[in-house]
């Protein structure tokens, strides 16, 4: 599977775990309109996660540093009073922003998230329908490709990095002369510790 798709799924899983109030968390392609928002309000509060790429930088190891622009759209609606969805939307936006700040989302090839921005989307048509939309955006850098320096520095066998070497056993034998003049032989097996 694509490293970027896997990273996006890690973000979705992290948002689900950190913000359990969100009833529906899924991905989207980065663009949305009123029809999409109407579909997403079927199960509110909900969130949609998009990962879009911005300029990629080459790295000295031969890998590429994909500077990913991550956008999370949070949708809620009024429930008990006029415009009460606003406070809940801000609360959800804050939770996602705090989660994103300096998070690697469990990927060792990702840098901590930076440039976190968040806002409430102001749209009179959505406000009249009682829908609130919040957006959290940040940048996550993800190294993709093959690390050629690692390939030069480590030993590989059948395409796998060798992490254990064969163990050896040393046998030592000695003769000991006792004070009585007798000679005895002792044998000792030494196996290196792991």
CATH label of the domain that carries residue 80: 3.30.2000.10
Which structural domain, as residue segments, surrounds residue 27? 3-148
183 is a domain residue:
no
pLDDT of residue 187: 76
Find the mean pLDDT for residues 5-28. 96
In a domain, 113, yes or no: yes
pLDDT at residue 2 is higher than 60: yes
More confident residue, 116 or 169: 116
* 122 in a structural domain: yes
Domains: count for the chain: 1
> Quick check: is 185 in a domain?
no
Distance separating alpha carbons of residues 20 and 28, to the nearest angstrom: 19
Q: Where is average pLDDT lowest: 23-32, 88-97, 167-176?
A: 167-176
Q: Is residue 164 part of a domain?
A: no
* Residue 139 within any structural domain of the chain: yes
Classify residue 47: in a domain, yes or no.
yes
- Residues 184-188 have a mean pLDDT of 77
With 90 as the cut, is the pLDDT of residue 140 above it? yes
Whether 130 maps to a domain, the answer reads yes
b vs e for 74-110, b when ≥16 Cβ sit within 10 Å of the residue's Cβ?
bbbbbeeeeeebeebbbebbebbbebbeebbbebebb
């Amino acid at each position: 599977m694509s490293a970027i798709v896997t990273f996006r799924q890690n973000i979705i899983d992290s948002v689900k775990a950190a913000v359990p109030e969100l009833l529906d968390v899924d991905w989207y392609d980065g663009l949305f309109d009123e029809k999409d928002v109407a579909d997403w309000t079927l199960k509110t509060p909900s969130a949609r996660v998009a990962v879009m790429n911005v300029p990629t930088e080459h790295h000295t190891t031969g890998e590429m540093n994909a500077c990913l622009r991550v956008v999370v759209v949070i949708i809620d609606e009024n429930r008990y009073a006029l415009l009460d969805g606003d406070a809940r939307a801000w609360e959800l936006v804050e939770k996602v922003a705090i989660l994103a700040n300096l998070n690697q989302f469990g990927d060792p090839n990702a840098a901590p998230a930076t440039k976190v921005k968040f806002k409430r989307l102001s749209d009179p048509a959505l406000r009249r329908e009682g829908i609130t939309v919040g957006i959290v955006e940040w940048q996550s850098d993800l190294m993709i490709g093959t690390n050629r320096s690692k390939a030069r520095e480590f030993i590989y066998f059948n395409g796998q990095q060798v992490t254990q070497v064969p163990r050896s056993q040393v046998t030592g034998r000695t003769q000991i002369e006792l004070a009585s003049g007798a000679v005895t032989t002792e044998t000792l097996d030494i196996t290196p510790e792991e």
